[in-house]
Amino acid sequence: MNVIVVGLSHKTAPVEIRERLAFSEPSLEEALRRIRELPGIRESLIISTCNRVEIYANSVDSAQGPPQLKKFLSEYHQVPLEQIQDFLYNYTEQEAIHHLFRVACSLDSMVVGEPQILGQVKKAYQDALDYRATGGILNKLFPRAFSVAKRVRTETGIANHAVSVSFAAVELTKKIFESLEEKVVMLVGAGEMAELAARHLKNSGIREVFVTSRTYQRAEKMAEEFQGTPLPFDKFFNFLDKADIVICSAAAPHYLIRPDRMEKVMKARKNQPMFFIDISVPRNIDPKINDIANVYLYDIDDLEKVVEANIKERQKEAIKAEEIIRAEAKQFYHWLENLEVVPVIKSLKEKVEGIRKKELEKSISQLKGLSPEQIETLEALTSSIINKILHDPITQLKKQECEEDDSLYLEAARKLFNLD
């Protein structure tokens, strides 16, 4: 029973290689079936995302399993092995378990702490279950990975710091306003980052969304997505006093929002706070509006500084997460190894007990006239001798479950006592 993984990711392969080895949703069942037909492969599971393609398996032989899976990837996708060999990695046994736990906890992701990968791993596991590709080992391993991911998110702050510009903008907004409920946001321009920020804000309870764009149809389309109100681009200033949060990504060649007009807007708002996020390059909001009381302005550089600081915070939390993962991987591997220790000990006891009984019967048949009491004494004597002889080997085998080289002891026991 050997857990193995073969794959590639954004860390080892460019996108043009990753996409050539990706598995589409309709192809999964056939691919898993073909993997299970490989000699010595008992279980399998495929994780295929834009950033990684990985095959997990339970293999009889940890040395032969990875080459088989690499050959499968080559043949299934009709890509010569020499073209992908250098991009592939493989892990076996405890390293494979450790790798899966890091993937599920998003420590191996492009953005450390992102939540999407856990959902992708869970879906991959569910697909493998649906196609009956997993068994006793993977059905223990993957739920454990999900538990480890939950523990990491509970015990560390790895997901608590925004590492995207759009989400950093939302975090800053929450620092300005105690609550985002009943607040109004205006999108000036319909850029992708502004849309993402608006989506985060909408999920946080924003009451209303105004959208304006140089192309009115674009404003209508985005407003419909947010159940908001489109505004003509040349009229948006007439509604500016109604907005608590303004996200600007209009890409105009000059300032659209200036201090002189903002003085009038703040007067109309009775000096209630306004928060501006200028994602445009060049900037579309005059930085001098920051000098107006209760006006807060952040530009793209400010947001990127927040993101940079948050990445450092996540890296600190990732150190704590790594410690949890190492301990959990070691614990699971020892459980897995125990599945090997128990059969070895059982086989050893059965073999020695069989020898004892056979030799005892032979001796009793040669010693004529033994009483039942004498036969019982011989039975107890031989059992005691066997138990004493086996005590140290069995104790050492159980003890080695917690050591790094336990597999060496198991293999030695099999060979010395010819248990195979």
Identify each DSSP E strand in 205-263 by its residue range: 208-213, 229-232, 245-248
Give the rounded distance of the alpha carbon of 57 from its chain centre.
17
Using CA atoms of 26, 27, 28, 29 in order, give the dihedral in degrees to the nearest 10.
90
Which of the residues 50, 105, 248, 402 is marked catalytic? 50
DSSP, collapsed to helix, strand or coil, labels residue 299 as strand
50 is catalytic: yes
- The DSSP-derived string for 84-115 is HGGG-EEEEHHHHHHHHHHHHTTSSSSSTT-S
What Rg value do the Cα atoms of the chain yield, rounded?
A: 33
Handedness of CA 364, 370, 376, 382 (dihedral sign): negative
Angle at the Cα of 289 (from 283 to 290), degrees rounded to 5? 100
Query: Phi and psi at residue 187, in whole multiples of 5°?
Result: -100, 115
Q: Report the catalytic residues.
A: 50
